[in-house]
Amino acid sequence: MKPAHEYPSADGLWTGLRLATDAGIEAAIAVTDGMIRWVGARDVLPAEFASLAPHDGGGALVTPGLVDCHTHLVYGGQRANEFAMRLAGATYEEVAKAGGGIVSSVRATREADEDTLFREAAPRLEQLLADGVCAIEIKSGYGLSLEHERKQLRVARRLGETYGVTVRTTFLGAHALPPEYAGRSADYIDLVCDQMLPALAAERLVDAVDVFCERIAFSLEETEQVFKAAKALGLPVKLHAEQLSDMGGAALAARYGALSCDHIEHLSAEGIEAMRQSGTVAVLLPGAYYTLRDTHLPPIEALRAAGVPMAVSTDHNPGTSPALSLLLMMNMACTLFRLTVPEALAGVTVHAARALGLSSTHGVIAEGMPANFVLWNVREAAELAYWFGQRPVRCVVRQGRIAVGAAA
Ligand code: NIG
Ligand code: FE
């Protein structure tokens, strides 16, 4: 995949489109200076846009650029051996206790230099981009020291610049206890809050702060300490919450105005109500649910009834979700979690953008927004969730440029 400066401009008048929300009428999108100036039915196009250079969509369905709002894309090595261990009967927690799990990726990440991490992450990012992703969150959390967390976050920034894709970085220093802090969890959380986070924030490497709140990771009190440090720096928070057990993390995160609570298989009614009140997005991660052969479903019906926005993401990581297709996650969200197709599509666009604080630039096709949209070789939106292993992208317009494929 070429670097961003080689992509042609998407400026012009895009016609022959069908909006996923109203596929019956021909739509048009006018783009100038990389921004959407107008979108609507072709037959009411304002005259001022009629003479723009034409891009014929050839009847393609068009959606907003996809947003992958929860990934751990930058890491060293891979963990196929753990896949084999789990197939032989070991649980995720047993693998972690046997020296595998997150800390084995920490070892490999610490050993790799920045260029190596970039070279290994780039093809993974290319896979996601080829599926229509226009914005992505990338977490740290496999470095667990200032030096190595910095390395991961710098690679995340460099990926965004190289490929012309919006990258939101999330500092996840509180992902696991590094081996050198064994038995000294409180000391490590002090290091995260007092040294790592302020230093990385000063280097403008942190867009949000996350914690893995779980009995095999960090407690509710430790989570709150990290949230306080984030708030003191004016950074938004999010949380790996209630994945394996109900820790009350979602309600705590909601009190801190969290952008999102993610995983949430064991989310309680109180957690849902707190998220509703704070406008926190529920991020569903069917790839991790599937890989761990989990059977405890997130409370979809209650979230729906409460009107909590639901996003869907890959959770790409080498342990629990080595997934490289957001379309496949839409399929799994429908099949495993019983989302409707419009819910799954909103989950990878408008709600995912909100989970990253990107509502004003991503997730919808609207006047005044940067041009991020995808033309698909499908007849109806349901096909985006229906096929799996298929790659129906015809053309991706990302940051005002034609990044993948071409119009008709
Ligand atoms: O989102 N839950 C914690 N973090 C990752 C797993 C990381 C790993 O196993 O390497 C997740 O599933
Ligand atoms: Fe995760």
Give per-residue pLDDT as tens, 56-98. 999 999 999 999 999 999 999 999 999 999 999 999 889 988 8
Q: What is the mean pLDDT of residues 260-267?
A: 98
279 pLDDT higher than 90 = yes
Pocket probe mutation, ligand 1, options 223, 320, 321, 329, max atoms within 8 Å of Cβ: 320
Give me the pLDDT at residue 281, please. 98
Q: How far is the CA of 295 from the centre of ligand 1 (A)?
A: 17
Spatial contact of 152 and 142, defined as CB atoms under 8 Å apart: yes
Give me the pLDDT at residue 97, please. 83
149 pLDDT higher than 90 = yes
pLDDT digits (tens, 9 = 90+) for 12-40: 999 999 998 877 899 999 999 999 999 99
Q: What is the mean pLDDT of residues 321-339?
A: 98
Name the band, by pLDDT with cuts 50, 70 and 90, for residue 119.
Answer: very high
Return phi, psi of residue 107, to 5°. -55, -50
Q: How far is the CA of 191 from the centre of ligand 2 (A)?
A: 22
Give me the pLDDT at residue 209, please. 99
Q: How far is the CA of 315 from the centre of ligand 1 (A)?
A: 8
Cα distance between residue 64 and residue 153, in whole Å: 27
Give me the pLDDT at residue 1, please. 83
CA-closest residue to ligand 1 atom 3: 212
Q: What is the mean pLDDT of residues 198-221?
A: 97
Q: Pairing relation of β-strands 310-312 and 281-284?
A: parallel
Of 32, 65, 69, 28, nearest in space to 45 by CA: 28
Of 348, 301, 297, nearest in space to 323 by CA: 348
Give me the pLDDT at residue 24, please. 82
Spatial contact of 376 and 61, defined as CB atoms under 8 Å apart: yes
For the question of whether the overall pTM of this predicted structure is more than 0.95, the answer is yes
Pocket probe mutation, ligand 1, options 70, 102, 260, 312, max atoms within 8 Å of Cβ: 102
Q: Is 15 in the pocket of ligand 1 (CB under 6 A)?
A: no
Q: Is 275 in the pocket of ligand 1 (CB under 6 A)?
A: no
Q: Is 243 in the pocket of ligand 1 (CB under 6 A)?
A: yes
Q: What is the mean pLDDT of residues 307-334?
A: 98
Rg of the chain taking only CA atoms, in angstroms? 21
Q: Is 141 in the pocket of ligand 1 (CB under 6 A)?
A: no
Q: Is 240 in the pocket of ligand 1 (CB under 6 A)?
A: yes
Give me the pLDDT at residue 111, please. 98
173 pLDDT higher than 80 = yes
Q: Is 315 in the pocket of ligand 1 (CB under 6 A)?
A: yes
Q: How far is the CA of 184 from the centre of ligand 2 (A)?
A: 23
Spatial contact of 136 and 67, defined as CB atoms under 8 Å apart: yes
Q: Give the largest CA-CA distance in the chain.
A: 69
Mean pLDDT, rounded, of the chain:
96
Amino acid letter for position 113: D
Q: What is the mean pLDDT of residues 127-152?
A: 98
Residue 217 makes CB contacts below 8 A (sequence gap 6+) with: 174, 175, 176, 177, 211, 240
Cα distance between residue 266 and residue 298, in whole Å: 6
| Percent of the chain with pLDDT strictly greater than 70 | 100
Q: How far is the CA of 205 from the centre of ligand 1 (A)?
A: 21
Name the band, by pLDDT with cuts 50, 70 and 90, for residue 101.
Answer: very high
Q: How far is the CA of 69 from the centre of ligand 1 (A)?
A: 14
Give me the pLDDT at residue 22, please. 79
Ligand found nearest the CA of 71: 2
Of 63, 54, 65, 60, nearest in space to 30 by CA: 54
